[in-house]
């Protein structure tokens, strides 16, 4: 069911604390932690604690929670003192999504090319 923890989901396990992560921020509804394979000096993932498969499903099922995630991307950027940064929601395997629990990548601390690859 949408929102319920999934036994086979890596990010649900990070929310539950059964897999360790370097957590940089936590709210009642979200967790932000450093990506294990950073692509920039700052590379933080912001996730809803509730399980939704991708950003589109999250926005459709729980728009206020989607807004919480977006608000937290700004909070991470502030904490990391980033003037410019990029927020990415890879959606679908063709776009590079590998974890099927909605997450925003917050990338910054270096020049970021546009358009992205």
Return the active site residues.
Answer: 103
Looking at residues 69 to 108 of the shown chain, list those that interact with Zn ion (rule: CB under 5 A). Answer: 101
Residue number, 9 or 88, with CB nearest to Zn ion: 9
Distance (Å, whole) CA 21 – CA 115:
30
Give the residue from 108, 91, 103 showing the smallest Cα distance to 30: 103
> How many chain residues are in contact with Zn ion, going by CB under 5 A?
6
Minimum CB distance to ligand 5GP, residue 54 (Å): 9
Q: Which of 9, 56, 88, 99 binds Zn ion (CB under 5 A)?
A: 9
Report how far apart, in Å, the C-alpha atoms of 107 and of each of 19, 50, 60, 74 are: 23, 23, 25, 11
User: Smaller CB distance to Zn ion: residue 76 or 101?
Assistant: 101
Eight-state DSSP code of residue 103: -
Q: CB–CB of 30/46 below 8 Å?
A: yes
Site residues for Zn ion per CB under 5 A: 6, 9, 11-12, 51, 101
Q: Which residues form the interface with ligand 5GP (CB under 6 A)? A: 10, 19, 21, 33-37, 90, 96-99
């Amino acid at each position: 069911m949408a929102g319920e923890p999934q036994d086979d989901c890596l990010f649900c396990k990070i929310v539950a604390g059964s897999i360790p992560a370097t957590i940089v921020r936590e709210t009642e509804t979200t967790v932000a932690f450093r990506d294990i394979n950073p692509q920039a000096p700052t590379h933080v993932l912001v996730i809803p604690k509730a399980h939704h498969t991708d950003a589109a499903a999250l926005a459709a099922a729980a728009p206020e929670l989607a807004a919480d995630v977006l608000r937290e991307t700004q909070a991470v950027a502030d904490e990391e003192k980033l003037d410019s940064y990029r927020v990415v929601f890879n959606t679908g395997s063709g776009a590079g999504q590998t974890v099927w629990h909605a997450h925003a990548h917050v990338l910054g601390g270096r020049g970021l090319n546009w358009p992205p690859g």
